[in-house]
A and B are shown apart, each in its own frame.
Chain A
Amino acid sequence: MYRSVYKVPGGKLLKVQFDVAEGRLTSVRFTGDFFLHPEEALEEIESRLVGVEPEPDRIRSVVEDVFRERNVTAVGCGPADFAEVIIDALQRGPAESV
């Protein structure tokens, strides 16, 4: 399991956990005290990230696509933060499940 927590400067807390199986992201779950409008967009971001190669540019473009397509407004964090917290978790490497 990969995990990371990111405190958005002057904003909210964004946490992620996921796995990497056969070179692809899987079981992506974000949690935190941020706001997303519409809220359903979070599940779409999570499901669209599943199956994506763990490459920063790919991750960023998936998140940006959902934000653009669903006209998502984030409050307390931005689209880049969702990608960066995953990239940070990848850099930290897998951790034992708690």
Chain B
Amino acid sequence: MISWRAIAAATLLAAAAPVLLAGEIPPDARRSGYAFMGADTRAMQDDDTSNPGMLFVLDGEALWAKKIGSADKACADCHGDAQSSMKGVAARYPAFDKALGRPVTLDQRIILCRANHQQATPLPYESRDLLALSAFIAHQSRGTPITAGDDPQAKPFVEQGRVLYMQRAGQLNLACTNCHDDNFDKRLAGAPITQAQPTGYPLYRLEWQTLGSLERRLRSCMSGVRAQAYDYGSPELVALELYLMSRAHGLPMETPAVRP
């Protein structure tokens, strides 16, 4: 019979070194999409004067200070200087919301804050203002190691995301893991496959010619395998986002990243 002491010891071991399932990338082998890019795209991200994502960050900074809604309040009226109050915050998102009993993305947190505290009209997903605020807030975490998913209350949702990540879907019958765990560094139609580490969202994608969220990226991957994409803000997309962030544990935030 297994003693409680043995179970406790096993749990401690598991906490010290997270158990990897078959195919999962060990922590010291995790690489940002930045490592898969050419020199030109890297240079564009590295130089704030050439990084097109910085225009959104500047817009977000202006929105942060702007009084809106029937409460006539700006983000800054409650949160003060974002450089200190928002530092490291995005590296913990999606984060568990106690009132809702589920994790929310940074975009959803902004939407909730606008509704509850500013009493302002909701911002649609992928709208310019939402992306700008999200980019500005996440930019305050540039360089901060990702810790999303560490909260014990988030664990069941991390697990839900992992199951979705491992599940084959769509007419092409492929799972995220088939490309991003088993075949990164190889080429799909000539373009390198990355590890899908979401270190720089929202990010400027040259293919999109604009800034976009991780949810947009996930939805386009789902369309790629000819699956019905989950809706923006759906529990499934949030769980996938949470799992991906937890999988990128320890990698530094890069927002706003630039990707091909």
State whether these chains interact: no
Residues of A within 8 A of B (CB): none
Query: Which B residues are closer than 8 A to A by beta carbons?
Result: none
